[in-house]
Amino acid sequence: MIEIRFHGRGGQGAVVAAKILADAFFHEGKHVQSFPAFGVERRGAPVTAFTRIDDSPIYIRCNIYEPDIIVVLDPTLLHETSVVGGLKAGGLIVLNIAPRPLSNPELQRYTVAAVDATAIAVKHNLGTSTNPIVNTAILGAFAQVSGLVRIESVLQAIREGVPKGPEQNAAAAQDAYEQASLITTPATNK
């Protein structure tokens, strides 16, 4: 089983991203599960969402406390909450930041990938320039750096699951797929 935890803020589309990713894996014949965990329900508040993927039916029904992968839609959350809490050793973090060396020592134990999903969302007019919706772009990056799901499956799930601007969202995911890169791995930090 692969467990993925999304961290974002209300209005960024973390919950929709978790569902679209589950749909993409479903298109590839996997058993999936996705669900949110809301704190304070308001725009801008931290939001967590979860996706489970397996080759067999999934019977577990609880939040994900020890994920294999973490997806962070808003990098300011790295300073506010324990985003990497419970991440398995050597786990993957997909960050919405412009690729650059990281100074956060907490991230040095993990494989970290980056994509500037904010710039990509703004380029494709997803949301506004002050409040871009980055969820579909980050999914393109996820497909590239995880290698777990094909970009074609992600694009299909976006076109089927995004209620507004499916082609703009698919184009954002494709751009992120092409721009995402690994910026650190545990081996490079020794």
Distance CA(177)–CA(102), nearest Å, equals: 21
Per-residue b/e over 45-80, b at no fewer than 16 CB within 10 Å? ebbbbbbbbbeeeeeeeeebeebbbbbbbbbebbee
Tokens of 71: 């997806």
pLDDT of residue 97: 92
- Beta sheet of 31-38, edge-to-edge order: 31-38, 46-54, 2-9, 69-72, 92-96, 111-115, 181-184
pLDDT of residue 80: 79
pLDDT of residue 187: 59
The number of angstroms, rounded, from the C-alpha of 170 to the middle of its chain's C-alpha atoms is 15
More confident residue, 126 or 190: 126
Percent of the chain with pLDDT over 90: 69
**Domains defined for the chain, CATH in brackets:** 2-184 (3.40.920.10)
Digit-coded pLDDT (tens) for 96-128: 998 777 777 778 889 999 999 999 999 999 988
Q: Is the pLDDT of residue 146 over 60?
A: yes
Tokens of 86: 């419970």
Count of Cβ atoms closer than 10 Å to residue 82 Cβ: 11
How much is the average pLDDT of 162-188?
90
Q: Is the pLDDT of residue 40 over 70?
A: no
Distance CA(159)–CA(182), nearest Å, equals: 27
